[in-house]
Structure 1
Amino acid sequence: MTSLIDIKKASKIIKSGGNTFKLLDTIDLQVEEGEFISLMGPSGSGKSTLLNCIGMLDGFTSGAYHFLNESVVKMREKNRVKLYKEYIGFVFQAYHLIDELTVEENIETPLLYKKVKSSERKALVADMLDRFNIVGKKNLFPEQLSGGQQQLVGVARALIGSPKLILADEPTGNLNSNQSKEIMALFAQLNKEGVTIIQATHSEENASYGSRIVNLLDGKIVKS
């Protein structure tokens, strides 16, 4: 197995109104390619912050973070953005679809960032629509979809760039139990196909889909 993520003694500190808050406290975490990890812990334990730092949407304030053996901490912003767009797909609880774009256009967005040619984009989007059984929804806007359908579009969008890593923050938080099972079964299938997945979840059931559970409390990893 190849090491995808190597985090050593990483902390995240913020200052607010003269006070200092430690959101993450000396985190050590190694993730191999092909793992499916569930981050668990109460609200405020640091799950989302850790996901955002792994996904380079935010940064650790101290410590070391290597992604595919490259030091993220020492990297220029431009190179970090490139790495994130190349290798990481995000799935959010609140879907984060773009209201003004159709399903088809939402799924296509990451390919525009990557400057993929138009004909290739169309073919990849058609594949995704087909894979997720949403061909009939391609011209609809997010508000015309159910929560489960919106999350499927979110997953399709995260996957279209063939990422090595999917980061999912409470991916079923707004879904009913059947929709949740459908999304989790999809993650399990993707993981079987070789995609590394790290999800933050409150749900024991969702966590059980993972190959490893990492528990957080007050910004520290308490057991993994």
Structure 2
Amino acid sequence: MIDLQNIEKYYSNKGVKSYILRHVTTSIQEGEFVSIMGPSGAGKSTLLNILGMLEEPTYGVYNFMGEDVTSLNERKRIELYRNHIGFVFQAYHLIDEMTVAENIEAPLLYKKIGSSERKSRVADMLGRFNMVGKRDLFPNQLSGGQQQLVGIARALAAQPSVILADEPTGNLQSAQALQIMELFKKLNQEKGIAIIQVTHSEVNAQYGTRILHLLDGVIKEDIKTAS
């Protein structure tokens, strides 16, 4: 599903290269749950952004679903992203002027999905996440945990092959964080959705079937967990 070969990301300043990622080579299969860990500045979020096609590597090859992402034009990359990737952010990234239902529907508009299908998917998400009564509320009327649930519902509505989650419980209390992680586990095990999360939490990392430890932009360990 995902194959990274010798991925590097660096910035040059007066001929001096500042590396963020170095020689990252790994593969992630369909249905895997991978946790990416490491100290601040290790390159975790940059790696996730490259996987999510929000950033391009400086060097190396990224194959996704059989497509060489690094050789695609921007239009093709956007199309691949919209069809297969759901992103869940630590800061939620909901649109303040949109209701819960409208936020969930937003990615479906970009995919040019018909009105009746959009309404069906939004209703399904609202029901699954017990938010039917909150469909007309705005993000600032929700708790942090509820906003994160809307963010996940929005990602799922597009029926992605993989969910990329950047510190998905970083702003949540422990009970809400547990709810989110159990939800990811269920989506992974029951729906077969691949999940790749960046996390500082050892507890959250153990939900994954593999843990990649990054240090100074290099994968130092690739460990299978007991999950």
Query: Above 0.5 in TM-score?
Result: yes
- The alpha carbon displacement at 1:14 in A equals 1.8
Give me the whole-angstrom Cα distance separating, in 1, the residues matched to 2:171 and 2:16: 33
What secondary structure sits across from 2:95 in the alignment?
coil
Tell me whether 1:143 sits opposite 2:140 in the alignment. Answer: yes
Give me the whole-angstrom Cα distance separating, in 2, the residues matched to 1:109 and 1:142: 14
What secondary structure sits across from 2:121 in the alignment?
helix
CA displacement 1:146-175 (0-9 Å, x = unmatched): 000000000000110110000000000000
- The alpha carbon displacement at 1:20 in A equals 2.9
Aligned residue in 2 for 1:54: 51
Tell me whether 1:65 sits opposite 2:99 in the alignment. Answer: no
What secondary structure sits across from 1:11 in the alignment?
strand
Give me the whole-angstrom Cα distance separating, in 2, the residues matched to 1:78 and 1:19: 32
1:195 to 193, 196, 202: 193
Note the 1:88-99 alignment, pairs <5 A. 88-99=85-96
- The alpha carbon displacement at 1:21 in A equals 1.4
Give me the whole-angstrom Cα distance separating, in 1, the residues matched to 2:84 and 2:166: 17
- The alpha carbon displacement at 1:17 in A equals 7.4
What secondary structure sits across from 2:176 in the alignment?
helix
Tell me whether 1:183 sits opposite 2:180 in the alignment. Answer: yes
What secondary structure sits across from 2:70 in the alignment?
coil
Give me the whole-angstrom Cα distance separating, in 2, the residues matched to 1:171 and 1:64: 27
Aligned residue in 1 for 2:152: 155
Aligned residue in 1 for 2:208: 210
RMSD, matched Cα: 1.0
Tell me whether 1:103 sits opposite 2:113 in the alignment. Answer: no
Give me the whole-angstrom Cα distance separating, in 2, the residues matched to 1:97 and 1:18: 40
| Structure 1 runs (4+) greater than 2 angstroms displaced | 15-20
Note the 1:72-83 alignment, pairs <5 A. 72-83=69-80
- The alpha carbon displacement at 1:22 in A equals 0.7
Return 5+ residue gaps in structure 1 as ranges: none
Sequence identity of aligned pairs in percent? 60
Aligned residue in 2 for 1:33: 30
What secondary structure sits across from 1:130 in the alignment?
helix
Give me the whole-angstrom Cα distance separating, in 2, the residues matched to 1:16 and 1:142: 41
Return 5+ residue gaps in structure 2 as ranges: 223-227
